[in-house]
């Protein structure tokens, strides 16, 4: 596998300063992975503040790191770039609690698998391979969409907003403007 460097408008996009002034000052959470004697050694680097705050405990953050390190990529047991993508995504989404940390980790993993299947679909050699890759890609894409919806609903804590665009009040009718609360049973109900 060759190493690629992204260039845009003469800037080295591998350097955060090329993205934006604020990205230059960010030290994202990341991991260094090293295999020694069939044991994967993981070293955490960068700022883990947001992930640790969301995870609430070190064991949760530690397990997320361990699981992200084992995701790997095509023909690799462990892949530092893939691991750091997951950690960067979780950090960028600013998780509020452990449930969000776990869901965001799953979302990053599903995203990676989706793109891997998309690549595979583009390189199939026969119809059975195409069918299998297409089915898996469809399932992964749907899973990601459901996860996004779940995250949105979880973050809104189930509150629904109803916006009224137009109200018509006929002659002799009354309209109430403001919050209307129903306190339970009426006076004449028993």
Q: Contact at 8 Å (CB) between 55 and 101?
A: yes
Look at residue 143 and tell me if it is in a domain.
Answer: yes
Q: Contact at 8 Å (CB) between 147 and 103?
A: yes
Indicate whether 2 pLDDT > 50.
no
Q: Contact at 8 Å (CB) between 101 and 112?
A: no
Split at pLDDT 50, 70, 90, the class of 177 is confident
Q: What are phi and psi of 102, to 5 degrees?
A: -65, -45
Structurally, the chain folds into a number of domains equal to 1
What does pTM read for this prediction? 0.72
Look at residue 178 and tell me if it is in a domain.
Answer: no
Look at residue 170 and tell me if it is in a domain.
Answer: no
Look at residue 7 and tell me if it is in a domain.
Answer: no
Domain that holds residue 82: 15-155
Look at residue 121 and tell me if it is in a domain.
Answer: yes
Look at residue 137 and tell me if it is in a domain.
Answer: yes
Torsional sign, CA 117, 144, 24, 32: negative
What pLDDT does 72 receive? Answer: 74
Torsional sign, CA 94, 72, 27, 49: positive
What pLDDT does 170 receive? Answer: 83
| Chain mean pLDDT for the chain | 85
Look at residue 59 and tell me if it is in a domain.
Answer: yes
Look at residue 48 and tell me if it is in a domain.
Answer: yes
pLDDT digits (tens, 9 = 90+) for 82-110: 999 999 999 999 999 999 999 999 999 99
């Amino acid at each position: 596998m060759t190493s690629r460097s992204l260039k845009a408008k003469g800037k080295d996009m591998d350097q955060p300063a090329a993205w934006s002034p604020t990205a230059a000052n960010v030290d994202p959470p990341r991991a260094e992975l090293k295999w020694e004697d069939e044991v994967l050694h993981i070293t955490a680097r960068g700022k883990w503040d947001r992930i640790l705050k969301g995870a609430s405990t070190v064991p949760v953050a530690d397990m997320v790191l361990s699981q992200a390190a084992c995701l790997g990529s095509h023909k690799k047991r462990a892949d530092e770039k893939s691991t750091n993508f997951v950690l960067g995504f979780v950090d960028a989404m600013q998780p509020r609690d452990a449930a969000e940390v776990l869901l965001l980790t799953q979302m990053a993993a599903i995203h990676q698998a989706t793109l891997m299947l998309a690549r595979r679909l583009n390189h199939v050699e026969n119809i059975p391979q195409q069918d299998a890759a297409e089915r898996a890609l469809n399932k992964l894409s749907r899973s990601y969409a459901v996860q996004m919806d779940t995250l949105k609903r979880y973050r809104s804590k189930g509150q629904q907003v109803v916006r009224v665009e137009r109200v018509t009040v006929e002659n002799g009718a009354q309209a109430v403007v403001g919050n209307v609360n129903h306190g339970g049973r009426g006076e004449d109900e028993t």
